[in-house]
């Protein structure tokens, strides 16, 4: 295990075991399982960038679940998902502020020369690696759309 993030997850898992924090332990085990699955399927050793991407995907899945649970009136299940989001976010880099996201979007638009919504793919290609795990991609995508529409 050469990844610092993976080592951090291992240490957090041990700490949760010692503290008897069953909910946190369950989420960390879920994360470790997702990482192991990718390593086995692709026969690779994950680096921090790839782990951050997997964690970001897990956050997105939980946000979607919360939305569905709220629509179905299942606040109990939504609160479980929210608790899982808190644990997952603890292992991600600090989120970007709105100003930082706006600056990254503007820089990407000027780099690509994007003029309309048709150029969104080019802009996303530059923005995504800079913000992965540090912001909600649906919000960032909406910012790009808004900026390109004006």
Q: Is 115 exposed, middle or buried (0-12, 13-18, 19+ CB in 10 A)?
A: exposed
Please choose, from the candidates 35, 52, 41, 37, the residue with its C-alpha nearest in 3D space to the C-alpha of residue 1. 35
Give tens-digit pLDDT for 67-124: 999 999 999 999 999 999 999 999 988 888 889 998 999 999 899 888 888 888 999 9
pLDDT score at 2: 61
Angle, nearest 10°, between helix axes 48-71 and 22-42? 120
pLDDT score at 62: 96
Q: How far is CA 134 from CA 8, 41, 69, 112, 118, in A?
A: 18, 26, 24, 22, 25
Mean of per-residue pLDDT scores for the chain: 91
Question: What domains can be seen in the chain, in order of their start residue?
Answer: 4-89 (1.10.1510.10), 98-149 (1.10.10.410)
pLDDT score at 96: 87
Confidence of residue 1 (pLDDT cuts 50, 70, 90): very low
């Amino acid at each position: 295990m050469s990844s610092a993030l993976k080592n951090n997850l291992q240490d957090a898992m041990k700490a949760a075991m010692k503290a008897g924090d069953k909910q946190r332990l369950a989420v960390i085990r879920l994360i470790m399982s997702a990482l192991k699955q990718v390593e086995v399927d692709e026969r690779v050793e994950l680096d921090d960038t790839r782990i951050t991407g997997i964690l970001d995907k897990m956050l997105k899945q939980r946000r979607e679940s919360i939305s569905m649970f709220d629509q179905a009136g299942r606040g109990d299940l939504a609160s479980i998902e929210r608790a899982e989001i808190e644990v997952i976010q603890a292992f991600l880099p600090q989120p970007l502020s709105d100003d930082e996201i706006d600056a990254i979007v503007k820089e990407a638009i000027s780099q690509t020369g994007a003029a309309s919504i048709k150029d969104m793919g080019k802009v996303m290609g530059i923005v995504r690696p800079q913000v992965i795990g540090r912001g909600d991609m649906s919000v960032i995508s909406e910012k790009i759309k808004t900026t390109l529409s004006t």
